[in-house]
Amino acid sequence: MDPRTVAVALAEEAAYPEEPPFHPHGEAPGNPFRERSDAPNHAYDAVRRALELAGLDKANTGTAAWNPLADLIRPSETVVLKPNLVKEFHPRDPLGWRYVLTHGSVIRAVADHVFRAVGPKGRIVIADAPQTDSSFTRIVEVLGLLEVQAFYRERGFELELIDLRQEEWETRSGVVVARHALSGDPRGGVAFDLGASSELAAHRGSGRYYGAFYDEQQVNLHHSGGRHEYLLSGTVMQADVLFSLPKLKTHKKAGVTASLKNLVGINADKNWLPHHTEGNPSTGGDEFPNSDPLRRLERFAARRFRRLALHVPKAGSWLMRQARPVGLSLFGDTENVIRSGNWWGNDTVWRMCLDLNKIAFYGRADGTLRDPGTGRRRHFSLVDGILGGEGRGPMNPDPVESGVVLFGVHPATVDAACVVLMGFDPERVPIVREAFRCERYPLAEWDWRDVRIVSDRDDWSRGLAEIDPEATFHFKPHFGWTGRIERGVRVSA
């Protein structure tokens, strides 16, 4: 498959099947198992159609011999499936997880074809590091992944489910009150230092980065003095193939979350990851757009409470809970007010995400990096856009019945197609635009304008720049990105 091509399949209906383990309905060319569902499985059909559109194993398309991923994955290999398992809970809709998480039926459909390629001696690992205050147990339950795992094991196929996190947090009123140690990746973590090859190397945020927890010293320790260090999953680094299964959603810090952003979840320690730079643009920061007195007061108070909670956990957490209602009244709710880098001016998070993609491509299991001229890890992407998420993504979006599945063999290419079909401009979304500009450890050797879609829809089957904006979905951006990334919208200075 041409790495500049993205296959986009239309689901017959923007809906998921209800009953795990999500067997296909009716004829299922290339399916290695006999079980069928009495109810339609539009997700399974859309995944199959995307692989057909990609032209994989074209000679056997539509027959029982069809083995589409054999062109990409070899027998006996280990494949990591990396879905978006960010959080099992939607704050406004009990069923909102369907447009927050990669659905189990999409994961099952991809896993069937992967098992067809690797055979019974191969191995699939479903791995992710959800948000730290999420329940991995609950996530796999709502997605039906335990039933999927049991189905495969009964037939002699090995499927692992791994929570890559080292700890899980218990929160009350948005404040961390307890931290529970987890076993993490059974294959440990692998440390990498991109140094001068990091996208953060030319960034002026050193010493002022904020990571995933109150301890700001840890993230800045790993991103100072010329170091740009990341701790990645040993399971992912030892795998032959990384297969991303992201969700089609907007994102408060990155604009969109698809394949490139999805790799935040392959970390062994998220507090090595810079999420934003403290301060405002006038001081080289991207935490807030402006430095008004209220924002300065908020930043001062937040830092003091975070340090108290870090050094005196019980008392500090109690005081934060008492202060939170006052803070919300004075400074506004995060769902309505820009803070913590949740806006188009975040110049930190896209750099971190592209660094992770560099390591995914070029990293070895021993912590060294391949020379770009000697090859890279295979990293494919299939995006669950059957139900997408718009607005306050990634965890509080509104649903979009987009009814699509996108597949490609190159993550940046797939994300460029996602952005265009969402109704956004790739040139205005830094995580996508800059993915085509990385020099050392490149992520693409072409421009996003060279990307072409093949689809069931004729008006999409063309180069990205040639697709009529009126033919796209018009996803509503996160409010911190509104008016900045939409195609056809004039951006003010």
Q: Please count the other Cβ atoms lying within 10 Å of the Cβ belonging to residue 75.
A: 11
CA pair distance 424, 343, nearest whole angstrom: 15
Q: What is the pTM of this model?
A: 0.95
pLDDT number for residue 175: 74
Question: Can you read off the two tokens belonging to residue 225?
Answer: 């003095």
Angle between helical axes of 313-331 and 293-311 (0-180°, round to 10): 160
Task: Kindly report, residue by residue over 189-203, the tens digit of the pLDDT.
Answer: 999 999 999 999 999
| 214 — pLDDT class (breaks 50, 70, 90) | low
Q: Of the given ranges (72-86, 198-212, 409-423), which has the lowest mean pLDDT? A: 198-212
Task: Kindly report, residue by residue over 447-456, the tens digit of the pLDDT.
Answer: 999 999 999 9
**344 Cβ partners below 8 Å, 6+ apart?**
255, 480, 481, 484, 485
The mean pLDDT of 338-355, rounded to a whole number, is 97
Task: Kindly report, residue by residue over 355-383, the tens digit of the pLDDT.
Answer: 999 999 999 999 999 999 999 999 999 99
Check pLDDT > 70 for residue 287. yes
Q: Please count the other Cβ atoms lying within 10 Å of the Cβ belonging to residue 264.
A: 22
Q: Of the given ranges (204-213, 293-302, 384-393), which has the lowest mean pLDDT? A: 293-302
The mean pLDDT of 398-402, rounded to a whole number, is 98
Task: Kindly report, residue by residue over 215-230, the tens digit of the pLDDT.
Answer: 789 999 999 999 999 9
CA pair distance 161, 179, nearest whole angstrom: 22
Check pLDDT > 80 for residue 327. no
The mean pLDDT of 350-359, rounded to a whole number, is 98
**46 Cβ partners below 8 Å, 6+ apart?**
9, 10, 11, 12, 386, 403, 404, 405
| 441 — pLDDT class (breaks 50, 70, 90) | very high
pLDDT number for residue 409: 98
Instruction: Report the percentage of the chain scoring pLDDT > 90.
Output: 83
Task: Kindly report, residue by residue over 7-64, the tens digit of the pLDDT.
Answer: 999 999 999 999 999 999 998 998 999 999 999 999 999 999 999 999 999 999 999 9
CA 395 remoteness from chain centre:
12
pLDDT, the chain, mean: 94
pLDDT number for residue 493: 54
For 452-479, b/e burial (b = at least 16 CB within 10 A) is bbbbbeeebeeebeebeeeebbebbbbb
pLDDT number for residue 308: 66
CA pair distance 280, 270, nearest whole angstrom: 23
